[in-house]
Amino acid sequence: MTNPVIPAVSPTSDAAAFFKATAAGQFSVPYCDDCGESHWYPRPICPYCSSDKVALRPASGRGRIYTFTVMRRAPQVFAVAYVELAEGPIMLTNMVECDVDKLAIGQEVEVVLMPNGDGLQVPMFRPL
C-alpha cells in the first residue's frame, strides 16, 4: 500500500496550537482541566462540561482500531479508520504503511505524522 496524498488545508485558529505541536514532532490531545476528560478534535470548549479550561497535553500516540473500511474503488486503495486513543478519545484517521488486507478491529496502532501539501504534519496511524 502506498501512502495517501494529503491535500493542503488551512487549519482553523482552534487547531493552530495542535499543528504547531505536530510541526515539532509532538502528537497532543486536548484535555479539560475542569472535568479531566480528553477529547478529539482540538477545540477551545470541552464537549463534556463546556469549560474553556482546555489545553493540549502530549499523548502517547498509541491506540487500537475501533472500526475501519477499505476504499477499493478509489484510484489508490486506502483504509480509513476510527482509532481509540490510549487517552480515551476516538478519532477518524487514515491508516498508512500497512497492508489493508491485514487490518483488524482491536489491532494496536501508533501515530505517524505525515506532511501534507502545505507542510503541516497530519496525524495518521500504522499498525504496530
Domains of the chain (ranges plus CATH)?
13-127 (2.40.50.840)
Single-letter code of the amino acid located at 29: V
pTM of the model: 0.89
Phi and psi based region of residue 108 (left: phi greater than 0; alpha: psi -120 to 50; beta: remaining): beta
Q: Which helix (H) or strand (E) segment is 18 a member of? A: helix 16-23
Per-residue pLDDT at 9: 73
Sequence-ordered strand ranges (E) for 1-107? 28-32, 54-58, 62-71, 78-85, 90-95
Per-residue pLDDT of the chain (128 residues; tens, 9 = 90+): 556 667 777 778 888 999 999 999 999 999 999 999 999 999 999 999 999 999 999 999 999 999 999 999 988 899 999 999 999 999 999 999 999 999 999 999 999 999 988 888 999 999 99
Task: Say how far apart CA 45 and CA 56 lie, in whole Å.
Answer: 12
- CA 96 remoteness from chain centre: 12
Per-residue confidence (pLDDT) for residue 1, from 0 to 100: 56
